[in-house]
Structure 1
Amino acid sequence: MTTQEVANRLVELCREGKFEQVFQELYSPEIVSIEPDGGPWGTMKGFEALEKKAKEWHDMVTEFHSSEISDPLVAENFFTMTMKSKVTMKGMDHPIDMDEVCVYRVADGKVVTEQFFYTPMPELV
């Protein structure tokens, strides 16, 4: 797959809420995931680490209210998109808005690096 094809498919699956399928279909087994400093996860490597992070994230959320995924912007073997969501977290009595920029690097038709840019919320760390 080309970088554009990977980007389009990743956006499609994210919009459908099929995040586990993103891992299985589009990610390299040696995937590196980078979260911002001050966030709960830091840098992780491999499918198992990403699956653990995804489970921890979903366990922190009591309700998903909305989600918006932008179209991808592709340059060479990189692409980016934004993710916006409104969620209610455990221990909170009101929904919060979350907004992040996601950057991916593709090699040999698979995502090999993902990096997220957002301001970590102290109450979630």
Structure 2
Amino acid sequence: MTTQEVANEFVAMCKVGKWEECIKKFYSPDIKSIEPEGGAWGTVQGLDAIAKKAEEWHGMVTEFHESEISDPIVAENFFSMTMKSKVTLKGMDQPINMDEICVYEVNDGKVVKEQFFYTPMPEFA
């Protein structure tokens, strides 16, 4: 698959909430995931670490109110998308808006690196 094909299918799956299926289909076993400095997870590597990170994230959220994912932008072996969410986190009374840019690197049809850009919330770092 080309990077464009991976990006198109990856984003389409994410838009309908098929995150686990997307990870299984597209992530390399040795994927590297990079969160912003000061974030809760830092850098992790491998599918097991990605699964643990996802489990921890979902454990922090008490309710998902809204979610919007952009179409992908592709350049060579990279693609990016924006994710905008409105969620209520444990310990918070009011929902918060979360906006991030997600950048993915593709090699031989597999995502080998993901990096997220957002402003970390100190109380959850």
2:6 is paired with a residue of what secondary structure? helix
Aligned to 2:5: 5
Residue 95 of structure 1 aligns with which residue? 95
- Matching residue of 2:62: 62
Corresponding position: 1:23 with 2:1? no
Q: Deviations over 1:37-83 (max 9, x none)?
A: 00000000000000000000000000000000000000000011100
| Identity value in percent | 70
Paired residue type of 1:56: E
- 5+ residue gaps in structure 1? none
Where has structure 1 moved over 3 Å in runs of 4 or more? none
> Over residues 83-105 of structure 1, what are the superposed CA-to-partner deviations in whole Å (9 max), with x where a residue is unaligned?
00000000000000000000000
- For structure 2, which runs of at least 5 residues remain unmatched after alignment? none
Tell me, in whole angstroms, the C-alpha distance in 2 between the residues paired with 1:9 and 1:26.
9
Q: How many residue pairs end up in the alignment?
A: 125
- Which letter maps to 2:43? T
